[in-house]
Amino acid sequence: MLLLVTAAYAASFAAWTLVGALAPIFAATWALSATQVGWLVAVPVAVGALARLPIGMLADRFGARGVLCALVLVQMAAAMMMSDATDYAGLLVIAALLGLGGGTFAAGAQFVGRWFPQGAAGLAFGVFGLGNAGAALTAWLAPVLWDLGGSRAVAGVYAAALAVMAIALYGFARVPAGLRVAHARDLRGALTTAGAWQLSFLYVISFGGFLALSVHLATVLVDVYALSPAQAGRHVAAFAVIGTLARPVGGLLSDRWGGRRLLHGVFPLVTVLALALAMEPAHLTGTTIILLLGVMLGLGNGAVTQLVAEQFPTAVGTVNGLVGAVGSLGGLLLPVAQGIGQDLTGSYVFGFLLLAVLAQGGFLVNIFRRSR
């Protein structure tokens, strides 16, 4: 069951980041400004953020299988629409529909939280988080498909993959026998605790930073280092793979030592690495820093999701929806800040400085936060 839900999350995440992977191509095709590109890659992030909380609540209240199937089918339809996109407005609509895939984590988390006990939750959520590898797949595959057959090739492959995943979910996904359905009052209570909101802010840095770089890093690399879209895609794929593989490690370490303790070390290192990237170092140095940042953000993701499962075992989908919704705002803010900064100053420094400031804030919140 864990592998099936992880595969569904990977397919949905791949579709969620599709517009970001193709953003350099769209920018060249329609002569988009840096600000327009920033908003284009931010739209699916924003929609996914807004969708996570209600999707998590629906999954906790009515079950995750139907919710997951519906989300994947909507993304399939959006992928098919890409073959007929002819302008910026059309791309924004497609980006918004693909963005609903951002809610699949909250629904899938309901499966994982109900199948695995607290002592193994960190590792289980880390394995589930391997679905983030969908971003790496898209970063590499989408530009290749575009070179082979343009938008029709991209649309055909992604729509077919999502259709297969929807069929698999409907046919094989099951919930544990005797599962108690969460009551509305349980879900409302979880949303009013300080601990849930504090964890949400921590996820702004870890997952929001990971997501922002997954969808916008290709554009930055093309502009700063004059890479081709395919070359930039390979860099982003490496970042996403390393960050994804670090996530279950973060969950395992959190099971053993505690997620809070792990985050004490992660956030200061994120601050240092983000400041180093703000200085726009040479290509090789910058690539090394990006990969190290991917490791730190992946460890942080594993730690935060372990803390959610530990502190809110009866409302995993709902609290993961809240944490994911607020956390995804980091993925919205950074591309927009970088796009506006690039148009105004010719530099992407503001986005990396914002990440550094948020990481320092996360370090302080983690020290003083409440557990509930």
Per-position b or e across 321-355, b if 16+ CB within 10 A of its CB? bbbbbbbbbbbbbbbbbbbbbbeeeeebbbbbbbb
Both tokens of 300, joined, read 């942080």
The Cα 323–Cα 295 span in angstroms is 20
Per-position b or e across 35-60, b if 16+ CB within 10 A of its CB? bbbbbbbbbbbbbbbbbbbebbbbbb
Both tokens of 364, joined, read 């302080």
Residue 347 is predicted with a pLDDT of 85
Phi, psi of 148 (to 5 degrees): -80, -40
Q: What is the span of the domain harbouring residue 211?
A: 2-174+182-368
pTM of the shown model: 0.73
DSSP type of residue 33: -
Q: In 3D, which of 292, 337, 324 has the Cα closest to residue 56?
A: 324
Residue carrying the six token digits 């951002």 = 102
Residue 176 is predicted with a pLDDT of 56
Residue 141 is predicted with a pLDDT of 93
The Cα 217–Cα 245 span in angstroms is 19
Query: Reduced to 3 DSSP states, what percent helix, strand and coil does the chain have, rounded to the nearest 5?
Result: 90, 0, 10
The Cα 226–Cα 223 span in angstroms is 5
The alpha carbon torsion through 190, 194, 196, 202 (nearest 10 deg) reads 180
The Cα 308–Cα 65 span in angstroms is 21
**CATH code assigned at 145:** 1.20.1250.20
- Give residue 276's Cα distance to chain centre: 23
Interval 358-367: pLDDT, tens: 999 999 999 8
Phi, psi of 221 (to 5 degrees): -65, -40
CB atoms within 10 A of CB 171: 10
Residue 117 is predicted with a pLDDT of 62
Q: Where are the strands (E) in 57-137, listed by range?
A: none
pLDDT along the chain (372 residues), means of 10: 86 91 89 87 86 81 82 95 87 93 80 68 77 86 92 95 93 63 54 80 91 86 88 90 91 89 96 94 94 96 87 72 78 81 85 92 86 50
C-alpha distances (whole Å) from 355 to each of 16, 138, 184, 205, 334 are: 22, 24, 35, 7, 7
Q: In 3D, which of 193, 179, 141 has the Cα closest to residue 62?
A: 179
Q: How many Cα atoms sit within 13 Å of 144 on the Cβ side?
A: 12
Residue carrying the six token digits 């730690």 = 303
Number of domains in the chain: 1
